[in-house]
Amino acid sequence: MKRAIYPGSFDPITNGHIDIVNRARHLFEEVCIAVTHNPAKNALFHLEERINLIREVFAHDKGVTVTSFTGLLVDFATTSNIRTIIRGLRAVSDFDYEFQMALTNRHLASEIDTVFFMTDAKYSYLSSSLVRQLTRLKGDISEFVPKTIEKALKEKVNERNIRTY
């Protein structure tokens, strides 16, 4: 069975990520979405919340699995017996970083390859932090995330505001 890992912090998953998963599903029988804590980022959703939200989004597709990992991505891939990492490219500006990551991962585990998918142009400027910021400022995010994520974001931001004031 052709399997691949799509790693990220997914805080939260957006239509841009979903677009990449759906494209990857044409090539891979299983896409394992692997959620991790990125220490460089201050997360809005807890890891378990992010996983549950992604599971809701892909509840209709048995070929999409969701899990979490800690430590090196290549170690997770090796223990999961998966040799392909999926990454999305939104714009040329993503390339340098992705190139560096792909080559570092190859240096760490030469048998693991990274496959890139171009996102739909309408999501080329999208990011999770943009969606989080829009939610805080009461901007319209309905084009950027599914309804379940929109609802969860609004609840989380309200909960945070209540705790702050």
Residue ranges in contact with ligand COA by CB under 6 A: 7-9, 11, 14, 16-17, 20, 36, 38, 41, 72-73, 88, 90, 101, 104-105, 119, 123, 126-129
Minimum CB separation of residue 75 from ligand COA in Å reads: 8
User: Has 156 been annotated as catalytic?
Assistant: no
The least CB distance from residue 20 to ligand COA, in Å, is: 5
Residue (of 104, 94, 98) closest to 86 by Cα position: 98
Residues 6 or more apart whose Cβ sits within 8 Å of residue 26: none
Phi and psi at residue 147, in whole multiples of 5°? -55, -45
Q: Give the CA diameter of the chain.
A: 52
Q: How far is the CB of 62 from ligand COA (least distance, A)?
A: 22
Closer to ligand COA by CB, 127 or 148: give it: 127
Task: Reply yes or no on whether 17 is catalytic.
Answer: yes
Nearer to ligand COA, 52 or 68 (CB): 68
Query: What phi and psi values does residue 8 have, to the nearest 5 degrees?
Result: 170, 175
* Minimum CB distance to ligand COA smaller for 59 or for 91: 91
Closest by CA position to 31, among listed 107, 86, 99: 86
Smallest gap from residue 85 Cβ to ligand COA (A) = 8
Nearer of residues 3 and 102 to ligand COA, judged by Cβ: 102
Specify the DSSP element, H or E, that contains 69: none
State the Cα–Cα distance between residues 81 and 105, nearest whole angstrom.
15
